[in-house]
Amino acid sequence: MDVGSVGIWTAQLDLQPAARAREVAAELDELGYGALWVPEAVGREALTHAAVLLGATRRIVVATGVANIYNRTPAATALAQRLLADDSGGRFLLGLGVSHGPMVEGMLGQRWEKPYSRMVEYLDALDGAFTVSPAPAKEPPRVLAALGPRMLELAGRRAWGALTYFVPVEHTPVARRHLGDGPMLMVEQAAVLTTDPEVARDAARKHMQVYLTLPNYVSNLRRLGWGDDDLADGGSDALVDALVAWGDVDAIAARVAEHREAGADHVCVQVLDTDVSALPLEQWRELAPALLDG
What is the DSSP secondary-structure string of the chain? ----SEEEE-SGGGGS-HHHHHHHHHHHHHHT-SEEEE--SSSS-HHHHHHHHHHT-SSSEEEES-EETTSS-HHHHHHHHHHHHHHTTS-EEEEEE---HHHHHHTS------HHHHHHHHHHHHHT----SPPPSSPPPEEEE--SHHHHHHHHHHSSEEEE-S--TTHHHHHHHHH-SSSEEEEEEEEE--S-HHHHHHHHHHHHHHHTTSHHHHHHHHHTT--HHHHSTT--HHHHHHHEEESSHHHHHHHHHHHHHTT-SEEEEEE--SSTT---HHHHHHHHHHHS--
Separation between Cα atoms, residue 40 and residue 220, nearest integer Å: 21
Amino acid letter for position 74:
P
The answer to whether the bond into 187 is cis (omega within 30° of 0) is no
In this prediction, residue 32 carries a pLDDT of 98
pLDDT in tens, 122-173: 999 999 998 888 889 999 999 999 999 999 999 999 999 999 999 999 999 9
pLDDT of residue 98: 94
Mention every residue, 6+ apart, whose C-beta is less than 8 A from residue 54: 62, 84, 87, 88, 91, 92
Work out the number of other CB atoms within 10 angstroms of the CB of residue 134.
Answer: 9
Phi and psi angles of residue 64, each rounded to the nearest 5 degrees, phi first: -90, 125
In tens, the pLDDT along 227-241 reads 999 999 999 999 999
| Residue 201: burial class (beta carbons within 10 Å; 0-12, 13-18, 19+) | buried
* pLDDT band, very low/low/confident/very high, at 277 (cuts 50, 70, 90): confident
Positive or negative CA dihedral for 43, 255, 20, 36? Answer: negative
Tens digit of pLDDT for each residue in 60-101? 999 999 999 999 999 999 999 999 999 999 999 999 999 777
In this prediction, residue 109 has a pLDDT band, given cuts at 50, 70 and 90, of confident
Please write the tens of the pLDDT for every residue from 33-62.
999 999 998 889 999 999 999 999 999 999
pLDDT at 110 over 90: no
Set out the domains of the chain in order of their start, with CATH numbers. Answer: 6-291 (3.20.20.30)
Distance of alpha carbon 144 from alpha carbon 66, whole angstroms: 8
pTM of this prediction? 0.96
- pLDDT recorded at residue 41: 85
User: pLDDT per residue over 181-212, tens digit each?
Assistant: 999 999 999 999 999 999 999 999 999 999 99
The answer to whether 263 touches 183, Cβ cutoff 8 Å, is no
Tell me the pLDDT band of 281, cut-offs 50, 70 and 90. Answer: very high
- Residues 203 and 270: their CA atoms lie apart, in Å, by 12
